[in-house]
Structure 1
């Protein structure tokens, strides 16, 4: 290990696990400081200029303050694409990639797709990329999130239609959709103590938390909207809190959906629900 890598790991070892440090060190050196990847992996000694050394110290300070590396980089990887991110949007997760992958595998053609609570736009934009004949729309209540989503839309060359809309205040629409997808807030405040500081201190609460006394708050409203806006045979897909698979499934059944399926993620946790109208 070269001296630069050793210095980075020693500076952050009280906060991050050895596995996290390995990944962070590579990201800091190669992505943020511009160190040649071959030199890094060969363990060659790397000498930074004065400006680069200052840049490194700023990065380390931000990491010690629990700021996510994705916000420091300014982008996050999702489904092989690079999405701009900032504290106003949730950082895309691998579980959400599984949701998107399922939709892509099960659907094709000139579909009308709506993503509710789009955040960075990662779901909507990836679906537009991978189902090229689809017409994709996306809603969010946050203007800050929509600005970032529109930036990603432009950078990644897609034509998703983004709109500020509150699902709890939505006026009856004339549009109909073949697919509605949502990764809504689903964490209760009781679960906060189990969460890392880099999530709690930096990512938007608006995109994370639901009331403890009504954790199905968003699923109920989106599900009811779907019954009005999906044709017979139309599909709805949700990412869910692992603790509420049965409850969301029962809720969708009472609203009127059929063929309801709870799907586990790669870690064996209930994470996706799909249903048909």
Structure 2
């Protein structure tokens, strides 16, 4: 099949899953990934016939998309803060709102050079910070061994020197003091699951997504407790948060003696990030 026929195949296979314009956009992404044709080159080469192995990959990706597999997992990569990251079903797909968190940290120009990222997943936060804070010592922690392996591959891919530690956020201890403590921990409650898209529920790691309805701030509390003893006097704690629990998160931080607390909305106007200082 040529590219025009392959696009028609995508439209036919995915008509019950995506709108036609979204199918075209996805097909463009797949084409650039598989045969390095950007959108402009694709427009001029609809009669191009991919190699047999490439055609097989196109067809396999269409089949995967039809079963709600995320395109990033099917391609094995995602883009975050200007860099490419390997992704698989052991790590969350990096989100644009997390890019905003990284941007906020860098914008604040926190003094100091020690950083720790809890629940690192693909390593996107830790690696992006290291690439922009070149002299910083960056540590990243995750409970999943598979996630640590993926994050380590991403550090090598992006030439970022990050120390990865396999450990549980809830019990991790260290004698080191940090200037930046950051986390995008699990924060989606069971009650919110019904609102989520099927491709997320079926394929992204629940370990990195969900918390119990009874203690939705479990991980935030543990990391805040860690910060009480491990944050430098002028250091800053950064969280990505559940938009529905901003007031509760701020209240928890105040109860734990954090004095300077700032809430920031994401580009969609949702309460998404908090910074706190002692």
Please give the range of the TM-score, normalised by the shorter of the 2 chains: over 0.9
- Please name the residue that 1:26 is paired with: 28
Residues 110, 180 of structure 2: 8 Å contact kept = no
1:71 correspondence with 2:77: no
Q: What is the alpha-carbon distance in structure 1 between the residues aligned to residue 243 and residue 35 of structure 2? A: 38
Q: What is the alpha-carbon distance in structure 2 between the residues aligned to residue 270 and residue 19 of structure 1? A: 30
Q: Give runs of aligned pairs for residues 61-140 of structure 1, distance below 5 A.
A: 61-107=63-109, 110-140=112-142
The range that moved more, 89-98 or 100-109, is: 100-109
Residues 109 and 158 of structure 1, relative CA distance in 2, 3 Å threshold:
farther
- Please name the residue that 1:248 is paired with: 249
- Please name the residue that 1:144 is paired with: 146
- Under a length normalisation based on structure 2, what TM-score does the superposition of the two structures give? 0.94
Residues 114, 180 of structure 2: 8 Å contact kept = yes
Q: What is the alpha-carbon distance in structure 1 between the residues aligned to residue 244 and residue 169 of structure 2? A: 23
SS at match of 2:178: coil
Q: What is the alpha-carbon distance in structure 2 between the residues aligned to residue 47 and residue 76 of structure 1? A: 26
Name segments (4+ residues, structure 1) moved above 6 Å: none
Residues 244 and 256 of structure 1, relative CA distance in 2, 3 Å threshold:
same
Q: What is the alpha-carbon distance in structure 1 between the residues aligned to residue 38 and residue 236 of structure 2? A: 47
The range that moved more, 104-113 or 238-247, is: 104-113
1:163 correspondence with 2:165: yes
Q: What is the alpha-carbon distance in structure 2 between the residues aligned to residue 26 and residue 244 of structure 1? A: 38
The range that moved more, 6-15 or 217-226, is: 6-15
Q: 1:14 aligns with which of 13, 16, 20?
A: 16
The range that moved more, 33-42 or 17-26, is: 33-42
CA RMSD of aligned residues (A): 1.7
Residues 176, 230 of structure 2: 8 Å contact kept = yes
Residues 28, 38 of structure 2: 8 Å contact kept = no
Q: What is the alpha-carbon distance in structure 1 between the residues aligned to residue 20 and residue 273 of structure 2? A: 31
Residues 36 and 105 of structure 1, relative CA distance in 2, 3 Å threshold:
closer
Residues 112, 179 of structure 2: 8 Å contact kept = no
Give the superposition deviation at 1:110: 4.4
Give the superposition deviation at 1:231: 2.1
Give the superposition deviation at 1:225: 0.7
Q: What is the alpha-carbon distance in structure 1 between the residues aligned to residue 93 and residue 77 of structure 2? A: 9
SS at match of 1:233: strand
SS at match of 2:234: coil
Unaligned 5+ runs, structure 1:
none
Q: What is the alpha-carbon distance in structure 2 between the residues aligned to residue 254 and residue 17 of structure 1? A: 47
Q: What is the alpha-carbon distance in structure 2 between the residues aligned to residue 107 and residue 36 of structure 1? A: 36
- Under a length normalisation based on structure 1, what TM-score does the superposition of the two structures give? 0.94
Q: Give runs of aligned pairs for residues 126-275 of structure 1, distance below 5 A.
A: 126-171=128-173, 173-275=174-276
Q: What is the alpha-carbon distance in structure 2 between the residues aligned to residue 179 and residue 99 of structure 1? A: 12
Q: What is the alpha-carbon distance in structure 2 between the residues aligned to residue 4 and residue 142 of structure 1? A: 38
SS at match of 1:118: coil
The range that moved more, 266-275 or 160-169, is: 160-169
Residues 4, 45 of structure 1: 8 Å contact kept = no
Show CA shifts across 1:87-144 (max 9, x none): 0001100000000000011125641000001000000000000111211111001100
SS at match of 1:215: coil
Paired residues, number: 276
